[in-house]
Amino acid sequence: MDYDKNWAKVDIDNIPDIKVPPPGPKSKALHDRAEKYMKGYSSQVRLFPVSFESGRGITLTDADGNTYIDFSSGIYVTNLGHCHPKVVEYIQKHTANLMNCHDYTTEVKAQFLEKLASVTPGNLNGIQMYCAGTEAVEAAMRAARAYTGKHEFFSFYGDFHGKTMSAVSLTEVANYTSGPRAVGHHMAPNGHCYRCHYDKQYPECSLFCVDALEKQIRMEGTGNVAGVVLEPIQGWGGSVVYPDEYLPKIREMCDRLGILLVVDEVLTCCARTGKMFCVDHYDVVPDIMVLGKGLANGFPCTAFAIREDYSEVLEKISASTSYGGNPMAAAAGLASLEVIEEENLVEKAEKLGDFMIRSLKEIQNNHKIIGEVRGKGCLLGMEVIKDQKTREPFDQAGQKIYQKAFSKGLAWIPAGHNLRMSPALIMEQEVAQKALEIIDASITEVEKELGY
């Protein structure tokens, strides 16, 4: 497809463009209509109930005509920006041709599978497609159980893997269900060095947390551990980036113990971190890798990829779904992977991320309530704290900063005292700079209000 390469260009002097103090009257009225029936909104909507009308490239426009810089990307979804012309064309073409034929093969599905298999690490070429991340996580766990004949899993504090029964049992259950964690699901401290669960100091600790995990598996497991499941960078947990040796050491431990390594890349895949997949930063090949969010730039399309020599187990777990792999999803996924290559978005994400992390560290140095800033590529975050020594989380300040920046025209992601940033990979540096200036100004205002 031939399209205008400047399709997402913005006038830097006119974004953001706030015409009415948000959330404005039209936004509020629209939200009130929906809220009569839809219950259980996310924290970001509850804190700032704006109603969006359109999106283009790196901007969002609300019902009152306010235009925002999008520093969320639908929470790590629209990696290519809103309504990328190639993705739109591919979806429209296949929507008009064939929407669903269960799991039968179509030409576009074959093309997508070939393309995805060409970029996955190692021999992760056994693929199954789904609609939601939690579906793909659940299916990956079923595959791990079927291959190993075992049923236990270990995951980590702060990880997020979904909201269905097994997936939610891999995370902090109290926030997502009213019952206990499913049988055979265990949680362990992770390698979050800024908030070390063992009060160690990196690198002197020699990654004590991994050694402790091995002991926990041996002592708490019952000899039926199918796998370790982890996010290579935590999202909901606060954009937590681990030391470079962390994943390789877990990979080595899994090999030694004869258990599978399942890496959940729903959030980190498809160039988001400055590599096609986050595991590529560490030269680690998992046994199963789960993909989603940016895989199809906003269209519901997720997948998992399993080692080719393990893939026969997919015949044993009833892996197919009613909607996974439909022609529209396959088309969106194919277009997205093609755009990532054609527009060199892996390199662009790495370059933009390097600029942003340097700028965020300058912001950190100028504010008492900012603890650690961290990230890789265009997956970044900062912690808001009450005191630099105690590092006590400061949820109230985090919420205020989020709201103030949003009111100034920055759409982004809160998570309590963690503030998260995930701009589209196509964003120009000058736009990112303007967004960071909004964050900086918002922090300054909150510090003054709270007496810092």
Residue 316 scores a pLDDT above 90: no
Q: Which pLDDT value is given to residue 39?
A: 92
Q: What is the rounded CA–CA span in Å between residue 230 and residue 374?
A: 18
Average confidence score pLDDT of the chain:
96
Domain definitions of the chain by residue range: 1-65, 85-342, 344-392+427-452
Ranking 2-6, 58-62, 309-313 by mean pLDDT, the lowest is 2-6
* Percent of the chain whose predicted confidence (pLDDT) is above 70: 99
Q: What is the rounded CA–CA span in Å between residue 60 and residue 47?
A: 18
Give 339's contacts (C-beta < 8 A, 6+ positions apart). Answer: 80, 84, 86, 87, 297, 345
Q: Which pLDDT value is given to residue 178?
A: 59
3-state secondary structure at position 155: strand
Average pLDDT over residues 270-276: 98
Cβ neighbours around 433 below 10 Å, total: 13
Helix (H) or strand (E) holding 112: helix 107-119
pLDDT digits (tens, 9 = 90+) for 399-452: 999 999 999 999 999 878 999 999 999 999 999 999 999 999 999 999 999 999
Q: Which pLDDT value is given to residue 414?
A: 87
Average pLDDT over residues 208-230: 97
* The CATH number, out of the four listed (3.40.47.10, 3.40.50.2300, 3.40.640.10, 1.25.40.10), of the domain defined by the range 85-342: 3.40.640.10
| Cα–Cα–Cα angle for 43, 374, 50, rounded to 5 degrees | 25
Average pLDDT over residues 343-357: 98
Q: Which pLDDT value is given to residue 152?
A: 98
Q: What is the rounded CA–CA span in Å between residue 37 and residue 51?
A: 15
Greater model confidence, 2 or 220: 220
pLDDT digits (tens, 9 = 90+) for 34-44: 999 999 899 89
Q: At what angle do helices 327-342 and 345-365 cross, to 10 degrees?
A: 70
pLDDT digits (tens, 9 = 90+) for 177-194: 657 888 999 999 999 999
Residue 3 scores a pLDDT above 90: no
Helix (H) or strand (E) holding 349: helix 345-365
Q: Are 94 and 327 in contact (CB under 8 A)?
A: yes
The single residue listed with the structure tokens 């979904």 is 162
Q: What is the pTM of this model?
A: 0.96
Confidence of residue 173 (pLDDT cuts 50, 70, 90): low
CATH no. for 344-392+427-452: 3.90.1150.10
Q: Which pLDDT value is given to residue 358?
A: 98
Q: Going by DSSP bridges, is the β-strand pair 288-291/302-306 parallel, antiparallel, or unpaired? A: antiparallel
